[in-house]
Amino acid sequence: MLSGTTTSVVTFLHPFVIAGYTEELPGGEYKVMQSDSFAA
């Protein structure tokens, strides 16, 4: 099985809420990482 990680930077102009997280997060730049696994 192969795996890799994709990293992106996203910008939120306004405060936002993520499901399952109780507090509002401030707008700004956030690094988002996603792990991918797939059969070779």
What local confidence, expressed as pLDDT, does residue 1 receive?
62
What local confidence, expressed as pLDDT, does residue 40 receive?
65
What local confidence, expressed as pLDDT, does residue 35 receive?
87
Model confidence, pTM: 0.64
The per-residue pLDDT for range 1-40, each reduced to its tens digit, is 677 889 999 999 999 999 998 999 999 999 999 988 777 6
What local confidence, expressed as pLDDT, does residue 8 receive?
95
Separation of alpha carbons 22 and 40, rounded Å: 39
What local confidence, expressed as pLDDT, does residue 12 receive?
97
Q: What is the Rg, in whole angstroms, of the alpha carbon atoms belonging to the chain?
A: 14
